[in-house]
Amino acid sequence: MTTIAVWKANAMEGHLGNPAIWVISDSRASRTTKETTTVLTDKCAKLIEVETRASINGSIVSSTILMAVAGNTLVAHNTIFCAQLALKHLTGPRFPTALEVANYVRDVLVNITTEVGFALGNQAECEVLVIARDPESPRAYSLRPHYLPTIDYSIEEVLQFPYVTGSDKDKYLAVIEAMMEEEKVDGDNQQLIDQVPIRAFDQLFVANKASSKTGGELQIAAVGRKYVQRYMPMRWNESTNLYEFYMFGMDTWGKKIGACTIGIWPWQLDDIQSQA
C-alpha cells in the first residue's frame, strides 16, 4: 500500500510561487493478504503530471495538474490515462476548475472500480489526489472510496497539512513530529522545517526500510502558484565520487535521448541530511 504525503511549504523553491503544495510517495506496488505482503515491483509511478489543454473562444489555454495515486494500480493508472486523454482535448467557454476536474476523475474512478471490483472486491479501490495551481494558493482534493450502498468516491478538499494516506501513516507521522521538535529546538530555519516530510520519508522508508508495504524510491513533486515541478532523488556515491540520479532503479543522470539530456530537476537528499 502506497504512502503519500501532502504538505504546504513557504520557503522552498521560490520560483514555483509560494506557498506551494509538495507531494511525495514511494514507488512500491505490493499485494497484501491476511498473512503476508508480497512486493510486486519497486518501480511503480505514483505521482503523474497531467496537462489540461483547452480551446477557449478560439485561444489555446493550458495548465498542468499533479495527480497522486494509492491503492489498486490497475484502477489508478487507467483513471490517470483517461484524464490525460480527456483533459488535453477540451473546448468550451471557460477553463475547468480543479474541483470540476476532480468530479470528472471521480466518474472515471467509479466506472473502473465497479468493473474491476466484480473480481477483486474492495481490493479494486484506490485513492486519487488532484493538486492544481491557483493564482492565490494551490488546491488539493482527495478522492476516496465509500459505499452508499454501492461503490462511490467522495471528493474532499485537503485543508489540514500534512495530509498522509497509506497503511504506514501513523508510523510516518510520528517520525515527522519528532523531527519537527528537533528543528524547533535547533532554531527557526523555515526551509529545513518545510523539508521535514521529505527527510522523514527518506529516513524511515528508504534508508531504514522500516516497512514491507512502503518502499522503493522517493517520488517528489511540487505545485506552486506558478509552476508544477518534478524532482528526482539524487545521491552522492562515495565509491565513484559522482552523484547518481535515479528514476525507477535506473541511473538517468547523463543519459541522452537522441541529442537531448533529461532535464528533470535533482533533489539532493544527502545535502538535506547534512544540514539537519
Element containing residue 272 per DSSP (H, E): helix 269-275
| Integer CA distances (angstroms), 210 to 171, 200, 206, 213, 273, in order | 9, 12, 8, 9, 18
Give 95's pLDDT tier (boundaries 50, 70, 90).
Answer: very high
pLDDT tens-digit map of 62-86: 999 999 999 998 999 999 999 999 9
C-alpha 239/C-alpha 226 separation (Å) is 39
Range of the domain at 168: 4-275
C-alpha 47/C-alpha 24 separation (Å) is 8
**Residue (of 180, 198, 197) closest to 189 by Cα position:** 180
Rounded to 5°, the CA angle 217-246-212 comes to 15
> Backbone phi, then psi, for 263, in 5-degree steps?
-105, 30
Of all residues in the chain, what percent carry a pLDDT higher than 90? 57
Considering Cα of 14, then 16, then 19, then 23, what sign does the dihedral take? Answer: negative
Half-sphere exposure of 35 (CA within 13 A, CB side): 0
Indicate whether 271 pLDDT > 70: no
Number of domains in the chain: 1
Half-sphere exposure of 94 (CA within 13 A, CB side): 5
pLDDT tens-digit map of 157-185: 999 999 999 889 999 999 999 998 887 76
Beta bridge partners of 41: 29
C-alpha 214/C-alpha 131 separation (Å) is 22
C-alpha 5/C-alpha 16 separation (Å) is 19
**Alpha-carbon radius of gyration of the chain:** 19
Residue with cell 471557460: 94
Contact yes or no for 183/192 (Cβ under 8 A): yes
**Residue (of 97, 223, 78, 102) closest to 161 by Cα position:** 223
pLDDT tens-digit map of 12-39: 888 899 899 999 999 998 887 777 878 8
Domain CATH number, residue 249: 3.60.20.10
Instruction: Select the more confidently predicted residue: 117 or 4.
Output: 4
Mean pLDDT of 95-119: 94
